[in-house]
């Protein structure tokens, strides 16, 4: 993925035509807006990733919003990221017809790729920040309460995933909240 792709051209690096998708409002999307997109007839697959409180993005809502979206049309799956001009195509893939692959299969593969890539990047960033700050790891499910000085970020992630069955993305979101609160 790119830091910010050049728009309107086929990228020589990845072969994707990075362009703005005008049919989606150029704003972070709440879960209800993602659900509206999912129910529309234009898309066969819609999934937001990287959910974060709107307050952390400077919005006037504390609802969770996303700036990352995976959609499927009748013929292809796309990973979209919100930039200044709107929702930009980061990845665009078609199913392999000779393997009976569906658009939903491709969208799920993109979701796994994006989630894994995001988790690795976020974990690295949070480990660096955690050494600079002293975040409080406060579990929303139980009385687990540690600080950056008393445990590592990965221990808190392990607690969330093992004790409360959080997905990797959800656990990273909680860790991110704790780290942002320490700033």
Write down the mean pLDDT value for the chain.
83
pLDDT score for 143: 92
Per-residue pLDDT tens, the chain, 183 aa: give them.
556 667 777 877 777 888 898 888 899 999 989 998 888 878 889 999 878 888 877 888 888 899 999 999 989 999 999 998 899 999 999 888 767 888 989 898 888 888 777 667 766 776 666 667 778 888 999 999 888 777 877 788 888 888 988 877 788 788 878 877 766
Q: What angle, rounded to 10 degrees, do the helices at 103-132 and 153-164 form?
A: 130
According to DSSP, the residues that pair with 82 across neighbouring strands are 87
pLDDT score for 81: 92
| Chain segment 15-66, per-residue pLDDT in tens | 788 889 888 889 999 998 999 888 887 888 999 987 888 887 788 888 889 9
Tell how far CA 49 is from the center of its chain.
Answer: 3
pTM metric for this prediction = 0.65
pLDDT score for 10: 81
**Helix (H), strand (E), coil (C) string for the chain:** CCCCCCCCCECCCCCCECCEECCCCCCCEEHHHHHHHHHCCCCCEEEEECCEEHHHHCCCCCCEEECEEEEECCCCEEEEEEECCEEEEEEEECCCHHHCCCHHHHHHHHHHHHHHHHHHHHHHHHHHHHHHCCCEEECCCCCCEEECCCCCHHHHHHHHHHHHCCCHHHHHHHHHHHHHHHC
């Amino acid at each position: 993925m790119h830091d910010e792709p050049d728009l309107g051209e086929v990228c020589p690096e990845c072969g994707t035509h990075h362009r703005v998708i005008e049919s989606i409002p150029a704003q972070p999307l709440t879960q209800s807006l993602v659900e509206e997109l999912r129910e529309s007839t234009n898309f066969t697959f819609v999934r937001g990733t990287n959910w974060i409180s709107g307050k952390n993005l400077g919005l006037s809502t504390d609802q969770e919003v996303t700036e990352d979206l995976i959609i499927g049309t009748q013929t292809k799956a796309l990973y979209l990221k919100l930039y200044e001009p709107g929702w930009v195509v980061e990845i665009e893939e078609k199913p392999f017809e000779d393997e009976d692959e569906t658009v939903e299969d491709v969208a799920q593969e993109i979701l796994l790729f994006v989630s894994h890539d995001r988790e690795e990047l976020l974990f690295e960033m949070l480990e660096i920040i955690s050494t600079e700050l002293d975040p409080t790891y406060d579990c929303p499910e139980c009385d687990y309460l540690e600080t950056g000085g008393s445990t590592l970020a990965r221990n808190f992630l392990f607690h969330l995933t093992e004790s409360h069955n959080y997905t990797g993305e959800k656990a990273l979101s909680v860790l991110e909240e704790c780290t942002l609160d320490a700033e």
